[in-house]
């Protein structure tokens, strides 16, 4: 009787597990169904609306790529696995060549967080233990800043160019290992042909290249969740206690390093726990081993946190509670409708810098105020807006940082707007394809939960989504850590679609005529869809002029959270040389715009003033007439009878511009020298070439479906 009860209990547990797994898959499908819609219809405004392809184009181009990959996946499934491996290898070689070119041709720096981390690391490497106020708001960036200082000392690099080579190469290595581990997981748990599809999708995705140029927590931390997946698989596959303890320790070490760089990876252990409850066979032995593994995990994690605190203290960093943001401050900023849930300086100033109790009181007040103002419906709509901000663009805000280059090809500088248009829209097309494939894959899992790996990926992605949407601020680059999982789920979804089509084609009543008509109808759909998209986009992209800017020279590292100023006495001036290698028509000084009434700004060449601004002209952005290339002197004069403090960016070891402020050798103004013009974003020939390329993919797809061989087919075994 007891055995029957035990068996019944186990069966009931399995039923509950399956129901919960279906629920996880359903939630994933619902959320990413919404994200799929926003990616098509409402991409976030980090790129000019005029330069996005229309939703119809994005849909049909993504559909073309998706069907092409499904057809290639089906044909590779018929071939030996080595063909798929060869394709993956060729794609990897091409990608590495492209990475090498990018890593050594582009050297830049971000304009906010990455720049301040770089400047702080240079200070630490040169013996300074003074920390910028920025790190009171972002204490989670301290550890990576110290690691960056170690790298600078290890490689003895201080110049911008050489440092860029080292950091770019390191980022590419981390991203490549992440993607290779992802590829191996797809090959092992799905199929070799699906792994090839993963490789093709990843190689087409521009952010996997461009974000490597930005040494920041996102590009460094992306490898740790994948390492944790690998060690977790090894943990479950080991039968001996010593083997399980070994991989529990490696799992804990990996998590500790990842957490100390990017704290939101705390989601991963939570996902592991839920995964264990939903996928593992729970019995007395597994519970004992699980608790022992958890103890090892906690000991290593707490030891790592303690060592981290000691290292931070050694380098002079101690949390200044009076300046630090309380934890709830991030939730309060996330409810700010005006900033779409992003971090904003105004809110941060309200909730910090007033003493510990005052900061907490101000934070609680602001949080309760926004919860009351928003109400239930307001919180739902704000969550939707935060979803758009963080998840609607496949570009991940990649061109926001780095945005100041110490080295870049002249071809890129000259055609920057056109190239960004192409790369951002291609990234969006790939992203929509990935979302569609993973959405279909989630529906398959909801109907028949059978892949433990997909469950784990879903839990990690849902955890990151929920944390930022409900409890934190959002930004596009925060989602980067989840993208390897999205691509793996997409490869699995493509595999499921291919299996379904093969079963459909193998049905006796379908026959050769059915396959022929499938190819014809597919081609007809693509012809109508791409033709409509071609017509719909031609006028805004080819016939309509768009206001564009070309950066001639810039120093974009702002005063943000550094709090460095130069005092300007009444009726005194300061100057900084500005070199323009091309004609320009605009000069912007964002950090002095709020003091416009107190200043007069002049642009001089050969001691003659070629342009003068005062008051509203400065705040409006300082438009000028077209000026010739040359070396100019930017002169800022205090017109008042009292001292004026001008925000500047201090950089003792990294020259941020060709010239510093005269008399202040390590301080720089924040400026942009631009050439503003109005032309269509691409030419008619370039536009037609884009659509011809997708038409070729559509034709190949239709032919691949039409000439699918006569079935000699057995139902594939479920993974």
pLDDT grade, residue 622 (50/70/90)? low
Residue 169 lies in a domain: no
Assign 289 to helix, strand or coil: helix
pLDDT grade, residue 511 (50/70/90)? low
Residue 609 lies in a domain: yes
Structure tokens at 74: 């089906």
Q: In this predicted structure, what is the pLDDT of residue 209?
A: 93
Structure tokens at 209: 């290249």
Residue 129 lies in a domain: yes
Beta-bridged to residue 550, according to DSSP, are 675
Q: Any idea which of 43-52, 387-396, 587-596 has the lowest mean pLDDT?
A: 43-52
Question: Considering the chain, what is the average pLDDT of its residues?
Answer: 85
Q: In this predicted structure, what is the pLDDT of residue 713?
A: 47
Assign 572 to helix, strand or coil: coil
Residue written as token pair 């509670």: 321
Whether the per-residue pLDDT at 510 is higher than 90: the answer is no
Q: How far out from the chain centre does Cα 76 lie?
A: 31
Q: In this predicted structure, what is the pLDDT of residue 183?
A: 95
Q: Any idea which of 70-79, 167-176, 462-471, 596-605 has the lowest mean pLDDT?
A: 596-605
Of 343, 139, 117, 101, whose CA–CA distance to 215 is shortest?
A: 117
Q: Is the peptide bond before 517 cis (omega within 30 degrees of 0)?
A: no
Structural contact between residues 668 and 565, judged by C-beta atoms closer than 8 angstroms:
no
Whether the per-residue pLDDT at 649 is higher than 50: the answer is yes
- HSE, CB side, 13 Å, CA atoms: give it for residue 510: 17
Of 100-104, 497-501, 533-537, 619-623, the range with the highest mean pLDDT is 100-104
Q: Any idea which of 160-164, 222-226, 616-620, 704-708 has the lowest mean pLDDT?
A: 616-620
Count CB neighbours of 140 within 10 A: 15
Q: Is 715 exposed, middle or buried (0-12, 13-18, 19+ CB in 10 A)?
A: exposed
Residue 607 lies in a domain: yes
Tally of structural domains, the chain = 3
Residue 563 lies in a domain: yes
DSSP secondary structure, 300-338, as one string: HHHHHHHHHHHHHHHTT----TTTSPPTHHHHHHHT-GG
CA distances from 582 to 547, 550, 669 (A): 18, 10, 20
Element (H, E) at 529: helix 511-538
Residue 326 structural domain: 320-374
Average of per-residue pLDDT across 508-517? 67
Of 419, 43, 476, 439, whose CA–CA distance to 206 is shortest?
A: 419
Whether the per-residue pLDDT at 554 is higher than 90: the answer is no
Residue written as token pair 């590419």: 172
Residue 176 lies in a domain: no
Q: How far out from the chain centre does Cα 467 lie?
A: 16
The CA distance from 34 to 42, in Å, is 11
Structural contact between residues 151 and 455, judged by C-beta atoms closer than 8 angstroms:
no
Residue count (the chain): 719
Average of per-residue pLDDT across 208-236? 91
Average of per-residue pLDDT across 419-436? 93
Last residue of a domain, one of 142, 158, 174: 158
The CA distance from 697 to 62, in Å, is 11
Q: Any idea which of 48-62, 382-396, 506-520, 572-586 has the lowest mean pLDDT?
A: 506-520
Stronger pLDDT, 170 or 47, i.e. the higher one: 170
Beta-bridged to residue 644, according to DSSP, are 568
Residue 33 lies in a domain: no
Q: Any idea which of 100-104, 137-141, 440-444, 608-612 has the lowest mean pLDDT?
A: 608-612
- Residue-wise burial string across 148-165, b where 16 or more C-beta atoms lie within 10 A, e elsewhere: bbebbeeeebeebeebbb
Q: In this predicted structure, what is the pLDDT of residue 718?
A: 45
Last residue of a domain, one of 374, 400, 415: 374
Average of per-residue pLDDT across 66-78? 90
Stronger pLDDT, 36 or 512, i.e. the higher one: 36
Q: In this predicted structure, what is the pLDDT of residue 53?
A: 84
Stronger pLDDT, 247 or 403, i.e. the higher one: 247
Whether the per-residue pLDDT at 615 is higher than 70: the answer is no
Whether the per-residue pLDDT at 710 is higher than 70: the answer is no
Structural contact between residues 4 and 11, judged by C-beta atoms closer than 8 angstroms:
no
Strand runs (DSSP E) across 385-466, as ranges? 404-407
Last residue of a domain, one of 354, 374, 394: 374
Whether the per-residue pLDDT at 675 is higher than 60: the answer is yes
pLDDT digits (tens, 9 = 90+) for 347-402: 888 888 888 889 899 999 999 999 988 889 989 999 999 999 999 988 888 888 77
pLDDT grade, residue 25 (50/70/90)? very high
The CA distance from 601 to 638, in Å, is 9
Q: Using alpha carbons only, give the angle 536, 541, 542 rounded to the nearest 5 degrees.
A: 100
Q: In this predicted structure, what is the pLDDT of residue 489?
A: 95
Per cent of the chain over pLDDT 90 is 35
Stronger pLDDT, 706 or 298, i.e. the higher one: 298
Whether the per-residue pLDDT at 185 is higher than 90: the answer is yes
How far the first Cα of the chain sits from its last, in Å, is: 35
pLDDT grade, residue 547 (50/70/90)? confident
Structure tokens at 148: 């960056």
Of 40-54, 58-72, 268-282, the range with the highest mean pLDDT is 58-72
- Residue-wise burial string across 690-712, b where 16 or more C-beta atoms lie within 10 A, e elsewhere: bbeebbebbbebbebbbebeeee
Q: In this predicted structure, what is the pLDDT of residue 610?
A: 82
- Residue-wise burial string across 614-653, b where 16 or more C-beta atoms lie within 10 A, e elsewhere: eeebbeebbebeebeeeebbbbbbbeeeeebebbbbbbeb
Residue 115 lies in a domain: yes
Whether the per-residue pLDDT at 69 is higher than 60: the answer is yes
């Amino acid at each position: 009787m007891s055995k029957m009860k035990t068996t019944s209990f186990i069966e009931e547990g399995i039923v509950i597990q399956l129901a919960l797994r279906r629920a996880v898959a359903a939630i994933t499908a619902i959320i990413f169904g919404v994200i799929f819609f926003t990616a098509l219809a409402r991409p976030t405004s980090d790129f000019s609306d005029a330069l996005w392809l229309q939703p119809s184009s994005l849909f049909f181009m993504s559909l073309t790529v998706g069907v092409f990959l499904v057809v290639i996946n089906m044909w590779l499934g018929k071939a030996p696995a080595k063909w798929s491996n060869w394709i993956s290898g060729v794609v990897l070689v091409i990608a590495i060549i492209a990475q090498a070119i990018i890593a050594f041709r582009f050297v830049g720096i971000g304009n906010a967080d990455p720049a301040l981390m770089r400047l702080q690391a240079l200070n630490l490497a040169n013996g300074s233990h003074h920390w910028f106020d920025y790190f009171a708001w972002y204490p989670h960036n301290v550890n990576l800043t110290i690691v960056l200082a170690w790298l600078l000392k290890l490689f003895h690099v201080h110049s911008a160019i050489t440092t860029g080579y080292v950091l770019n190469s390191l980022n590419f290595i981390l991203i490549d290992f992440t993607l290779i581990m992802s590829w191996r997981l797809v090959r092992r748990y799905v199929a070799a042909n699906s792994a090839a599809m993963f490789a093709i999708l990843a190689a087409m995705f521009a952010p996997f290249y461009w974000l490597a140029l930005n040494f920041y927590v996102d590009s460094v931390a992306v490898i740790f969740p994948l390492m944790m997946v690998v060690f977790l698989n090894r943990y479950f596959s080991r039968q001996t206690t010593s083997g399980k303890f070994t991989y529990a320790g490696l799992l804990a070490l990996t998590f500790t390093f990842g957490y100390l760089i990017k704290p939101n990876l705390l989601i991963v252990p939570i996902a592991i726990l839920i995964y264990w409850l939903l996928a593992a066979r729970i019995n007395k032995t597994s519970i004992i081993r699980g608790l022992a593994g958890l103890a090892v995990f906690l000991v290593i994690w707490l030891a790592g946190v303690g060592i981290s605190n000691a290292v931070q203290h050694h380098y002079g960093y101690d949390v200044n509670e009076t300046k630090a943001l309380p934890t709830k401050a991030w939730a309060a900023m996330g409810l700010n409708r005006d900033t779409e849930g992003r971090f904003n300086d105004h809110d941060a100033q309200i909730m910090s810098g007033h003493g510990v109790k005052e900061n907490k009181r101000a934070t609680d007040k602001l949080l309760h105020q926004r919860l009351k103002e928003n109400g239930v419906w307001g919180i739902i709509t704000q969550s939707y807006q935060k979803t758009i901000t963080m998840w609607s663009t496949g570009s991940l805000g990649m061109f926001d940082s780095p945005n100041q280059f110490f080295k870049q090809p002249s071809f890129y500088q000259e055609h920057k707007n056109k190239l960004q248009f192409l790369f951002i829209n291609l990234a969006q097309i790939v992203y929509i394809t990935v979302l569609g494939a993973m959405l279909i894959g989630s529906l398959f899992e909801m109907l028949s939960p059978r892949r433990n790996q997909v469950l784990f990926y879903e839990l990690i992605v849902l955890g990151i989504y929920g944390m930022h949407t409900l409890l934190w601020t959002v930004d596009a680059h925060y989602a980067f850590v989840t993208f390897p999982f999205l691509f793996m789920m997409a490869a699995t979804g493509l595999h499921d679609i291919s299996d379904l089509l093969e079963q459909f084609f193998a049905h006796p009543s379908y026959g050769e005529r059915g396959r022929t008509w499938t190819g014809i109808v597919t081609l007809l759909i693509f012809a109508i869809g791409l033709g409509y998209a071609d017509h719909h986009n031609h006028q805004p992209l080819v016939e309509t002029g768009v206001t564009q800017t070309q950066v001639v020279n810039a120093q974009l590292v702002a005063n943000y959270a550094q709090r460095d100023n130069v005092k300007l006495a009444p009726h005194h001036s300061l100057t900084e040389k500005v070199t323009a290698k091309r004609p320009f028509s605009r000069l912007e000084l964002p950090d002095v715009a709020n003091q416009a009434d107190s200043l007069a700004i002049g642009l001089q060449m050969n001691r003659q003033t070629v342009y003068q601004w005062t008051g509203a002209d400065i705040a409006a952005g300082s438009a000028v007439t077209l000026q010739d290339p040359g070396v100019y002197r930017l002169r800022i004069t205090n017109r008042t009878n009292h001292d004026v403090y001008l925000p500047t960016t201090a950089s003792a070891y990294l020259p941020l511009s060709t010239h510093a402020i005269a008399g202040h050798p390590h301080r720089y103004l924040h400026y942009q020298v631009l050439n503003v013009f109005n032309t269509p974003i691409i030419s008619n020939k370039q536009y037609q070439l884009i659509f011809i390329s997708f038409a070729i993919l559509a034709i190949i797809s239709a032919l691949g479906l039409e000439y699918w061989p006569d079935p000699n087919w057995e139902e594939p075994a479920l993974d």
